[in-house]
Amino acid sequence: MPPKISIWRHLKIGSFFDFISPIKINNASQFSSSSRAAFGGVKMKRVSSSTSPTLLAASKAAALERRRVPQRVGTLAVKKEMTAVYLPNGQRIPCTILQLDRVQVVAPKTKKEHGYWACQVGLGWKAPKNITKPMLGHYEKFGVAPKKTIKEFRVKDENGILAPGTIINADHFVEGQYVDIWATCKGKGFAGGMKRHGWAGQPASHGNSLTHRAMGSAGQSQGGGSRVYPGKRMAGRMGGHSKTIQHRQVLKVDQELGVVLINGPIPGPKGGIVSIQDTIHRPSPVVPEPHIVVSM
C-alpha cells in the first residue's frame, strides 16, 4: 500500500484561507447565506443566477405577467328569474335575468400601492347604522354611499381603472359578447348520498333489509390499508359553494330597466348576488360611446 501523503503541512494557514475566500460580486459575497446579499440586494427569485434583471419563469412577478386578466372592470348584479328569448327562426333560448342595482366603483387599487390593478365595486344600498365604523370611513374617503355588497375585480393595467363613484349601468355590456360569471349555489344542508351524488340506491326488494338509500361499504379492510380513502363520496353538506360559469353570451341589454339577459341558467337562488366580467377567452368588446342629443 502506498504511503499516505498529506498536503496540509505544506500549506500555510494564511494562504489556505486566502485561497478559499469568497469572491466579491457587486460588493456582495458569493457564498453569503443571504440570497439578497448574494445578488447585489435583489431578490433571488426575481432574477437569474447571472444577476440579469430578466424575470424567472417560476417567480411570482412572471406568473402575474402571464395571468390572463380582463381589460375592463366587472360588475355585480342581482339574479331575478329565468325567462326565454325567441329567435326569428322560432328557436327558444332560455336565459337568466340579472339586474344592476345602483352599482358604483368604490375604490381603485394600483400596482404601485397594492401590487396589482383592480377596482372595488359595490351594489345596492345599506343603512349606515348597520355598517362598522372602519367601513363607514372607507366609504367616506371615496365619497360613495354605503353599499350592500362589495367585490374586487382585477384588470390588466391602469387603462381599466375607473374613478371612485362611477356608475356602472347595463350598457357596460354589449349584446353578443361573452362573459364569465361567479355565483354561490343554493345551500341544501346535510344531504344523503343519493341526493348529493346521484346514486341509484340499493335494490328495493329481494333480501334488502332497510338499506335502500344507505351508502354501503366505505372501503376495503386489509387490502386497502384499513382506512377510508380521501375523496370518498359520502353523505354531507350539499351546495352553498362558489361556482364559476365561463364563456356565457349576453343575449340582450335593457338600459331602461337596468337588466342583462344571460344565456342559460346561473347558479344561486332568486335574489342572489352574481359577479359578471368580460371573459378571459376572448378579446374585450368594443363598447360604443353614448349618443348625446343636444336640444337647441
> For residues 293 and 172, what is the distance between their CA atoms, to the nearest angstrom?
20
Predicted confidence at residue 6, as pLDDT, reads 56
* pLDDT value for 115: 86
Using the CB atoms, write b or e for 201-236: b if 16+ within 10 Å: eeeeeeeeeeeeeebeeeeeeeeeeeeeeeeeeebe
- Cell representation of residue 290: 353614448
pLDDT at 28 > cutoff 50? no
Which strand (E) or helix (H) includes residue 104?
strand 104-109
Per residue in 230-255, pLDDT (tens digit) is: 999 999 999 999 999 999 999 999 99
d(CA 121, CA 135): 14
Closest among 266, 236, 225 to 249, alpha carbons compared: 266
What kind and span of H or E run contains 62? helix 60-66
User: Is a pLDDT exceeding 60 seen at residue 152?
Assistant: yes
pLDDT of 4: 58
Segment 260-281 shows an average pLDDT of: 94
pTM as predicted: 0.72
pLDDT at 91: 93
Residue 16's H or E segment, with its range, is helix 13-19
Range of 145's domain? 69-188+237-278
CB 166 within 8 A of CB 105: yes
Average pLDDT, the chain: 82
Looking at the DSSP assignment, which residues form a beta bridge with residue 243?
A: 183
User: Sorting pLDDT into bands at 50, 70 and 90, what band is 129?
Assistant: very high
At 125, which amino acid appears? W
Write down the residue that cell numbers 380582463 correspond to.
70
Q: What share of the chain is helix, strand, coil (3-state, %, to 5)?
A: 20, 30, 55
pLDDT of residue 244: 95
Residue 52 C-alpha cell reads as: 440579469
**Spatial distance between the Cα atoms of 190 and 175, rounded to a whole number of angstroms:** 40
Q: Strand pairing partners for 151? A: 121
Rounded to whole angstroms, the Cα distance separating 253 from 246 reads: 19
What pLDDT does residue 105 have? 95
Read off the CATH number of the domain in which 174 is found. Answer: 2.40.30.10
pLDDT for residue 31:
41
Query: Which secondary structure element, helix H or strand E, spans residue 197, and what is its range?
Result: helix 193-197
**pLDDT at residue 221 in the model:** 82
Lowest mean pLDDT among 33-37, 225-229, 250-254: 33-37
Q: Pick the residue with more confidence: 156 or 58? A: 156
Half-sphere exposure of 121 (CA within 13 A, CB side): 29
pLDDT band at 1; cut points 50, 70, 90: low
The three-class DSSP label of residue 275 is strand
| pLDDT tens-digit map of 186-221 | 999 999 999 999 999 998 888 888 889 999 889 888
**Residue 295 maps to a domain:** no
Q: Is residue 64 part of a domain?
A: no
Residue 27 has pLDDT above 50, yes or no: no
pLDDT of residue 134: 95
- SS3 string, 167-180, reads ECCHHHCCCCCEEE
pLDDT score recorded for residue 165: 93
9, 10, 33, 30: which is closest to 20 by C-alpha?
30
- Residues 105-113, mean pLDDT to the nearest whole number: 93
Number of domains in the chain: 1
Asked if residue 153 belongs to a domain, the reply is: yes
C-alpha cell at 208: 334488502
Assign residue 176 a region (left: φ > 0; alpha: ψ between -120 and 50; beta: otherwise): left
The answer to whether position 107 is within a domain reads yes
Q: Residue 49: what pLDDT?
A: 52
